[in-house]
A and B are shown apart, each in its own frame.
Chain A
Amino acid sequence: NAGVMQNPRHLVRRRGQEARLRCSPMKGHSHVYWYRQLPEEGLKFMVYLQKENIIDESGMPKERFSAEFPKEGPSILRIQQVVRGDSAAYFCASSPGDQGQPQHFGDGTRLSIL
């Protein structure tokens, strides 16, 4: 199954630590999106990347959050100095970028902050 792969599936961090979430898109997909889902809410867009470029980061918090999609390797969502409010499910999606092709999602990373 060459779907969108996210790891780790579960991540526990203490307040002030760093969290790194990884996402490998589906084969042939060059567009990556990150979304966050808080309890009892829908998914909220965070950032849209293509290889080595951030296309839209309008949903990213101004501080502590960053994302990259390097030429080689997975996309990384990095959260520095985590706080309790960062606890959420973080989903990655990918698409080939062709018109009419939907985004396909990974199973997410559940981030818990102690």
Chain B
Amino acid sequence: DQQVKQNSPSLSVQEGRISILNCDYTNSMFDYFLWYKKYPAEGPTFLISISSIKDKNEDGRFTVFLNKSAKHLSLHIVPSQPGDSAVYFCAASLGSSNTGKLIFGQGTTLQVKP
């Protein structure tokens, strides 16, 4: 039972354009969502998060949007840079304290072309 899904295995974008990565979830009890970026042979690096009481959170070039009615979140990267090329994972947790386990999607490989 895949509670968090990233339906696009890969995405290719031109440098300077917007990258939009999507994530769907099934459990309406999730109340905290995170995006991580992962390079080969390294661990995931935290990018940005959002609480379920918000619908948008922005940090520099990264913005996360949450649509609770659709159980959908997205990560926007603008402008995209070649260094953004990596695998992006969305994750969700139960419990507002975020001390519990994270449930990850399968990941989307982003390639930003120069």
Contacts and interface: CB of A to CB of B under 8 A. Distances in A.
Nearest to B90: A42
A15 B108 CA distance: 33
Contact of A41 (B49, B99, B106): B106
Contacts of B45: 105
Interface size, A (range): 20 to 34
Interface residues of B, number: 27
A69 interface: no
Contacts of A107: 41-43
Residue picked from B36, B44, B96, most chain A C-beta under 10 Å: B44
A42 B87 CA distance: 10
B70 to A, nearest CB: 21
Nearest to A97: B99
Contacts of A6: 43
A104 interface: yes
Interface of B: 4, 6, 32, 34, 36, 41-46, 49, 51, 89, 91, 96-107
16 contacts: A31-B99, A41-B106, A45-B101, A45-B102, A48-B100, A95-B98, A97-B97, A98-B97, A99-B97, A101-B98, A102-B34, A102-B49, A103-B46, A103-B98, A105-B36, A105-B46
Interface of A: 4, 6, 31, 33, 35, 40-45, 48, 56, 58-59, 91, 93, 95, 97-108
